[in-house]
Amino acid sequence: MTVFDYVVIGIVGLSLLFGLWRGVVGEVIALMAWALAIFAAIEFGTQVGVAVFAGIADPAVRTLAGCVLIFVGVLVAMSLVRMAVRSMVKALGLSVSDRLLGMVFGLVRGVLVTMVLVGLGGMTSAPKQAWWREATFAPPLEIAVMVARNWLPDDLAKRIRFS
């Protein structure tokens, strides 16, 4: 096993543990929170920047400040929602199944994150390095990335090479 393998095990293992710790309900709400925060920051960041940070002269900095405020605000609000929903899940006695499903969610997320990293690595010279070529997990992840490549835009997909 090489550094590549240990990094894969670390990413998948941490993701699995976070899924177990937070449960599937917490994971799904967290995923929705990030998507909503990004959308809200893009959609309303400029207006909030103008309204709240009128004293900032530079429009780019003002917009950035508005985006950050919206982004953090949505994440905080959604964390409160997540805590309330987790309390309901616990009260219903579904904690064990929630956590086990969260572990499965974490496993899938960890594999997807490693696939993204392997795909990005496939755009560099990293696959030619010994630590990559000799890795146990590199071949199956490369195959998975090559299959998933069909869903990527052509300009991006053609840049991923492992040989």
What's the Cα-to-Cα distance from 59 to each of 12, 56, 73, rounded to whole Å?
Answer: 41, 7, 21
The model's pTM? 0.76
Q: How confident is the model at residue 163 (pLDDT cuts 50, 70, 90)?
A: confident
Q: 128-149 pLDDT, tens per residue?
A: 999 999 999 999 999 999 999 9
Domain that holds residue 138: 3-158
Stronger pLDDT, 154 or 77, i.e. the higher one:
77
User: Is 163 within a domain?
Assistant: no
* DSSP-derived secondary structure letter, 1: -
User: Is 144 within a domain?
Assistant: yes
Q: What percent of the chain has pLDDT over 70?
A: 100
pLDDT for res 77: 97
pLDDT for res 103: 96
Q: How much is the CA Rg of the chain, to the nearest whole Å?
A: 20
> Domain count of the chain?
1
Q: How far apart are CA 93 and CA 96, in angstroms?
A: 8
User: Is 26 within a domain?
Assistant: yes
- The owner of tokens 């994440």 is 75
User: Is 66 within a domain?
Assistant: yes
Token pair of 5 as six digits: 């393998």
H-only helix segments in 53-150: 59-91, 95-121, 130-133, 138-148
* DSSP-derived secondary structure letter, 53: -
User: Is 39 within a domain?
Assistant: yes
User: Is 69 within a domain?
Assistant: yes
Q: What percent of the chain has pLDDT over 90?
A: 90
Mean pLDDT of 106-111: 96
CB contact set of 84 (below 8 Å; sequence gap of 6+): none
